[in-house]
Structure 1
């Protein structure tokens, strides 16, 4: 594997893969952090969904004193408008697009691909999905915000305007304030994107109840759900 390709954990279904979920982790985590959710989703043994949990590249993160960790982009400030390093976002976007194109080459149509993410990974799933020239099955953005803060990304594509988008957030989130996620939701809704917003009584994490909701959503947007 070349250095330009993201290392990842891949969980293959028991039957031929006909759909794919690409799930992006948060700051300082790795693909291993979310890989255990697959059995927790309770999709059954014949779902035909390949799950890919890529590892973000390692880089210095400014707000953490320059400590090197896995990150999709540098965070230079906690201010929402300056939080996401634009160059880093764009570099990670290209690597995520390469992952999607790998799946296309393996015979998975983009209409059967879900782009998902938590925190920084959710920022990347939103940013990449909204600009992608390929039609996706769905976009999942958990506990996150838009990299551009109070505006939608430049270069929006209309291809996924009708694609199902879910945005979840914890009302007690002390890492990404709930208003940041709600702002992203209202911006998307105002532009006519097909998005749904739901809050949970949690902090910056994921709940079993939420995984049940995610499972039902995946089964609704992917033709090989259960």
Structure 2
């Protein structure tokens, strides 16, 4: 994909995600006439904060995606913490073993229903995402105020991470992603996530 096409797609994804996430945060906000009267306790302040984890695509990096945050200027995002992690460098089978930033291995492109999946690599990447989410929960952010977003391979990891997290998260936004696991992982989907399927 050319750099201009990637930029335009990422721009469109950011605008779409901003709209969806702002609407979701707006639903959770207290009524405006009450918010001015209430002085939140530290516990309530944590419940009002939000966290957005943005996962980049194959071969990209977290810092290259940081400008996306500039599209989220609505008041609902004033207490939002952002994270743009970078995938570790690893050989990628579909790119003839070339080493590049990759959340997990991709065996072939284009992907099809019969494409081999890197279930163990996906589950390891999901554990890393869950560790980032758990850190925010430990810092007082309510799980329903946590959103995971991702593009391409990051979108695939977003889907797996949200479905396999043991608590209900605020949501996930998948842009140009796919289901990155086979049937062996389906049994691991949390009961909370199954309710929303």
TM-score by length of 1: 0.60
Q: Deviations over 1:102-145 (max 9, x none)?
A: 10111111111001111111111111111210110111111111
* Conserved 8 A contact 1:73-1:85: yes
Matches within 5 A, 1:92-171: 92-148=125-181, 153-161=186-194
Aligned residues, how many?
Answer: 150
TM-score by length of 2: 0.68
Unaligned 5+ runs, structure 1: 1-14, 164-192, 194-226
What residue is the counterpart of 1:4 in the other structure? none
Asked if residue 73 in structure 1 is aligned to residue 104 in structure 2, the reply is yes
Counterpart CA distance in 1 for 2:128 and 2:185 is 21
Decide whether aligned partners of structure 1 residues 75 and 50 sit closer, same or farther in structure 2, where only a CA change above 3 A counts: same
Asked if residue 18 in structure 1 is aligned to residue 66 in structure 2, the reply is no
Unaligned 5+ runs, structure 2: 1-44
Q: Which structure has the greater CA radius of gyration?
A: 2
Counterpart CA distance in 2 for 1:36 and 1:149 is 34
What residue is the counterpart of 2:115 in the other structure? 82
Counterpart CA distance in 2 for 1:119 and 1:61 is 15
Task: Report SS of the residue matched to 1:108.
Answer: coil
Decide whether aligned partners of structure 1 residues 46 and 66 sit closer, same or farther in structure 2, where only a CA change above 3 A counts: closer
Q: Alpha-carbon deviation of 1:151?
A: 9.6
* Conserved 8 A contact 2:119-2:182: no
* Conserved 8 A contact 2:143-2:167: yes
* Alignment RMSD (CA, Å): 2.5
* Conserved 8 A contact 1:83-1:147: no
Quick check: which one's strand share is greater?
Answer: 1
Quick check: which one's helix share is greater?
Answer: 2
Deviates more, 1:57-66 or 1:152-161: 152-161
